[in-house]
Amino acid sequence: MKLETSAESVELFFTFSRPVTNDELLTLYHDIYAARNEVEAPVVDCWMYTGEWTHLCEEYPRPWNTVYMHPKQKDDVLQNLISFIRDKEFYLQCGVPYRRVYLFTGPPGAGKTTLIKALVAKIKYDLGRLPVTAKLDDATMFQALADLPSRTALILEDIDAMFAQRRSMDEHAPLTFSGFLNALDGIAKKTPTIVFMTTNHPNLLDPALLRPGRVDYILKFKCATKEQLKQIFAVFYPGASTEVRNKFVSGVRDLNQNYSMAIIQKFLVDHRHLTAQEILPHISKLEEIRQSHDSNKTSSMYT
């Protein structure tokens, strides 16, 4: 077999020790195509609503095994999503709106958006983003949801920042809280509508938004847990021994600080040229990353 590659294509040239039939060639082609699909990175098309849904970009979500969560927690939300998509007849027969609203809560950098992108890649959906701008009023909000392209999940990030005391946080955006709720409630399609919302401050959310039938599934994220630390270290250092992995976990926890998974990942990326053993004495630098993040967050409040 001879392999030739370019930026956009791969060409395979085969030599055989005996004549082959067309059926054998066709079988070989299907085997290669199936193998390619198994390893090919999923692509998520991202859309933005600006009066109409327009294509924004392509994103390559993280592989499922690098979404660092407790396996049961991660699989539960995926199976819940798959079950919803499959139960179309139930929703239509019972007159229940065929939509599913997920709320992911937790500190910044905990992996909420990462999980959303990985989920939509798993079910082969696109992702639609709806920015809160001066042009977003009640009618536009309703129209955006009504026109959401098929097989596209809507993501509303930092939902707590949209309203305060049921008033828009953006004084230039005429969207009202009641208009927002009416738009969510008014979705009535025969195709599944999936909405993901995220918040760093669930305590700021209005109870009217959280009532049953409006938010269907709430997933709470935490700072890096022992299980997550083991998972991410195993991905970055797949050949590391259990002893070294446990030393890394203990070293992080001995700092007595809550670190987001984003901080843990940055630390491992910054020290990617060190071996698993060599990185252990540098664990204390996690605190430098955390303090730098906190100072940047504070200064941004006054700029």
User: Can you tell me the distance from the alpha carbon of 75 to that of 152, in angstroms, rounded to the nearest whole number?
Assistant: 21
- The predicted-structure confidence for 237-263, as pLDDT tens digits, reads as follows 999 999 999 999 999 999 988 999 999
Alpha helices, H only, the chain? 22-39, 71-86, 88-94, 112-122, 138-146, 177-185, 207-210, 226-236, 242-253, 261-270, 276-279, 285-300
User: Can you tell me the distance from the alpha carbon of 103 to that of 98, in angstroms, rounded to the nearest whole number?
Assistant: 17
CATH number belonging to domain 44-220 = 3.40.50.300
Cα–Cα distance list, 303 to 210, 239, 296, 299 (Å): 33, 45, 11, 7
Residue 287's nearest CA partner among 241, 246, 254, 243 is: 254
| pLDDT number for residue 171 | 64
Q: For Cα atoms 149, 157, 143, give the angle at the middle one, nearest 5 degrees.
A: 35
CA atoms within 13 A on the CB side of 12: 9
- The predicted-structure confidence for 153-168, as pLDDT tens digits, reads as follows 999 998 888 776 666 6
Maximum alpha-carbon separation in the chain? 77
| pLDDT number for residue 105 | 95
pTM score > 0.85 for this model? no
User: Can you tell me the distance from the alpha carbon of 23 to that of 208, in angstroms, rounded to the nearest whole number?
Assistant: 62
| pLDDT number for residue 41 | 55
Give the chain's residues under pLDDT 50: 1-8, 33-40, 298-303
Query: How is the chain split into domains, by residue range?
Result: 2-39, 44-220, 226-300
Which residues in 206-242 are b (16+ Cβ under 10 Å) and which e? eeebeeeeebeeebebbbbeeebbbbbbbebbeebee
